[in-house]
Amino acid sequence: MTVIDANRMHEIETRYPEYFHQSFRQRFGGLMILIATLLYSLYAVWFFDLPKLFAEAHWERVGIYLSQWVSYDVQPEFRIGDDGSIDIRYPRFSPLGDNPNPDWLVNNPDGSITVSLSGTSRTVTVSKSETIVTAYGVSVPVDVFGGAPKVVGPVPGWMTVYDDNVLADLGFAGNVSISVDRVKMRKRFIGWANFIFDTQSSFFDKPVGEVVSLIVSGPRIKPDQSNLSLAFDDIWNNSEWQHGDVWTKLFQTIVMAFLGTLLGSLTAFPLAFLAARNITPNRLLNQVLKRFFDFLRSVDMLIWALFLTRAFGPGPLAGSGAIFLTETGTLGKLYSEGLENIDNKPREGIKSTGAQTVLVHRYGIMPQIVPVFVSQTLYQWESNVRGATIIGAVGAGGIGLKLWEAMRTNANWENVAYMVILILIVVFIFDSASNALRHRLMGTKIH
């Protein structure tokens, strides 16, 4: 064991004073940051009233909305006549078409009708005198004679009795509403109904093999149009999913992002040379342009979209203009800062030869900044594809407006899922392409 004497200890302290004579900030800085973070977290919990927010939140709606993204429902209604007859009706524009005959609905010999909501575990049998709901291992009869429906026996937890109807919640399979003269059902299916062909199409409800056979070699359904052309028209003009309108709006979003970013970069590029202090030695001009960039950046793209929508009306022009103004400020700042950080030696060397200013910029500055500028511009373009979706919701055109319209109805969540997936695919493609181009320009490998 080595013993350090006082002289040796003093020598070490003299050589490494930063370890033996630390300031208060150095000694307790980490602890102070931890305490400040904890206090801020407690303040945020109090300010947003998080306990109350979490307690009153409708968490059950999360599952409902998510299930509606990947499913659809059919809503048959059974009207019971005075003579004991049962009339089956479907809402207008039912996913089953105009003349539905589903295999999950069975007419029994005694005149009753049995509907399978989920195999044999959840069924509903409708007759003149009663409706029997079978679910969760029990069968519950509901008497429909008299002034109001009445549950025969104990009422299970999944069934609610009101003054004029009885509601049975069968989970994801659907629900049943029973009143004296009618029974309404909601049966849920996994998938997207009529995604390819809607109920008005000549190809609706045909097997895949038959559709392919008609398109390839079958007789013409319409004498003046080929089956292939007819199938494409039916898909493109699908009234339920509106593929044509959705894809057109998606293309508008891409064009908005591209046009706004392109115009913003073309405007910001020459202004950045005037704003850079080492390129243009005019402090007043430098400061005016930099404050101009700050102004354009400080107003959010969404606010610009609101202003321009009022000026030019709803449409992609307002969206492109909002992106253009925002990107002029953002790219102008990035470009000017990039110019101020260049290596001046190549520029001074070319300048010493007596070359003109244009040539000095061309050979002394451009080779240094072009890869960086293009990389920054590509990143902004990729980001603006997402931004264009948001500003579309305020009337600036594109798929954002279409998405907002579908969400506002609170009933077309499968259409919302369709558009969200398209947006994610487009963002992924542009992100990958942008990364590949940036790495190629910067001369780095993609791992």
What pLDDT digit, counting tens, does each position of 45-58 carry?
A: 999 888 888 888 88
Tell me the one-letter amino acid at 59.
W
Amino acid 413: pLDDT: 86
| Cβ atoms of 305 and 401 closer than 8 Å | no
> Among residues 336, 338, 365, which one has the least CA distance to residue 268?
336
Alpha-carbon Rg for the chain in angstroms: 34
User: pLDDT tens-digit profile of 102-128?
Assistant: 889 999 988 889 999 888 889 999 988
On the question of pLDDT at 84 being above 80, the answer is: no
pLDDT in tens, 263-299: 999 999 999 989 988 888 888 998 999 999 999 988 8
pLDDT value for 146: 67
Q: Is the pLDDT of residue 328 over 80?
A: yes
Q: CA 151 to CA 289: how far, in whole Å?
A: 77
Spatial distance between the Cα atoms of 412 and 193, rounded to a whole number of angstroms: 12
Residue 435: its pLDDT value, please?
79
User: Mind listing the pLDDT tens digit for each residue in 167-216?
Assistant: 999 888 889 999 988 999 999 999 898 999 988 888 888 888 998 998 88
Token digits of residue 330: 């953002």
pTM of the model as a whole:
0.79
Share of the chain above pLDDT 70, in %: 93
pLDDT category, 66, cuts 50, 70, 90? confident
- pLDDT averaged over every residue in the chain: 85
Residues whose CB falls within 8 Å of the CB of residue 290, separated by 6 or more in sequence, listed in order: 275, 333, 336
The average pLDDT across 422-435 equals 86
Q: How far from each other are the two terminal CA atoms of the chain, in whole angstroms?
A: 50
- Confidence class for position 41, pLDDT limits 50, 70, 90: very high
Residue 264: closest CA among 325, 342, 180, 213: 325
Please tell me the predicted confidence (pLDDT) of residue 358. 78
Determine the Cα–Cα distance for residues 374 and 369; give it in Å rounded to an integer: 8
pLDDT of residue 263: 94
Q: Does residue 173 or residue 348 have the better pLDDT?
A: 173
Q: What is the mean pLDDT of residues 325-331?
A: 93
In this prediction, residues 418-447 reach a mean pLDDT of 79
* Res. 1: pLDDT tops 60: no
Q: Which helix (H) or strand (E) holds 247?
A: helix 243-275
pLDDT digits (tens, 9 = 90+) for 159-179: 999 888 999 998 888 899 999
Closest CA to 196 of 251, 233, 248: 233
Q: Which domains, ranges and CATH numbers included, belong to the chain? A: 71-190 (no CATH), 193-226 (no CATH), 243-442 (1.10.3720.10)
